[in-house]
Amino acid sequence: MTAEPADPALEPVRRPALSDEVIERIRARIASGDWPVGSRIPPEPELMRRLQVARGTVREAVRALAHTGLLEVRRGDGTYVKAKSELSGAVTRLYGGSDLGQLLEVREGLDAQAARLAAARADDTALDALADALRRRAAAWEAGDFDAWVTADWDFHAGVADASGNALLAELYHNLAGPLRTAMAEAWSTSGFQGADPVGHETLLAALRERDPAEAGRQAAANVSDTRAWDEGEGSRRG
């Protein structure tokens, strides 16, 4: 056990693997928006040429990013950008086809916290956008347009998360959407689930306008609780 003096200049020379370097290059392109979601990235031969690495190295990098959900590889066609964040893939894989109840409970926690923070931080622009989402939500409910209702409802909730001023919270919330939507679609097909009370959200918005974090948190929690109660309680009725 020789005591090693801490000498930054004598740290081990570490050279990251080439494939890791390629991963970073690709991720940077995606994060910067150079390769937007849905676009096709250059084919492997071109990446080989431009990065000056062997095909196996390129493939290892692409495969890694595809596994995390950032890329989607279509054999015979090409490789496409699927998402900007890697969180979604992890959450999806962790909870693919899992309990809707658990997802909703997590959402409730994030929802309440986002509401509390948004009550303290949201600016008027954000509040107006939330009001607009609620108008569209109500209109879709009246018209019986389920898709439009889902979209508007999500716009509202996601808007609250964005208005929380917490990027991590917003990111977590957004990435919960995929699994949530899947689970909800399944619940809808098996139990006729069609959404919650269209009134409660108004009181949440009111609490946000009044800068009342505690009340906003209560209202947000109440909204999702209603949805969950509906799903668990009356969810088995159908015909």
Partner DNA sequence: AAACGTAAGACGTCCGACGTTTGATGTCCA
Partner DNA sequence: TGGACATCAAACGTCGGACGTCTTACGTTT
The residue behind tokens 């600016």 is 123
Q: Name the site residues for DNA (rule: CB under 7 A).
A: 12, 15, 17-19, 41, 43-45, 52-57, 59-60, 63, 73-79
Q: What's the closest the beta carbon of residue 87 comes to its own copies, in angstroms?
A: 5
Q: How many chain residues are in contact with its own copies, going by CB under 8 A? A: 44
Burial class (CB in 10 A: 0-12, 13-18, 19+), 238: exposed
Compare residues 57 and 166 and give the one whose CB is closer to DNA: 57
Which of DNA, its own copies, none has residue 152 at its interface (CB below 5 to 8 Å by kind)? none
Interface with its own copies, residue 71, by CB under 8 A? no
Using CB distances below 5 to 8 A depending on partner kind, what does residue 86 bind out of DNA, its own copies, none?
A: its own copies
- Alpha-carbon gap, residue 173 to 157, rounded angstroms: 9
Which of the listed partners (DNA, its own copies, none) does 98 bind, with a CB threshold of 5 to 8 Å by partner kind? Answer: its own copies
21 contributes a contact to its own copies by CB under 8 A: no
Q: For 146-209, where are the alpha helices, taking DSSP H only?
A: 146-163, 167-175, 177-191, 200-209
Edge-first strand listing for the sheet containing 71-74: 40-41, 78-81, 71-74
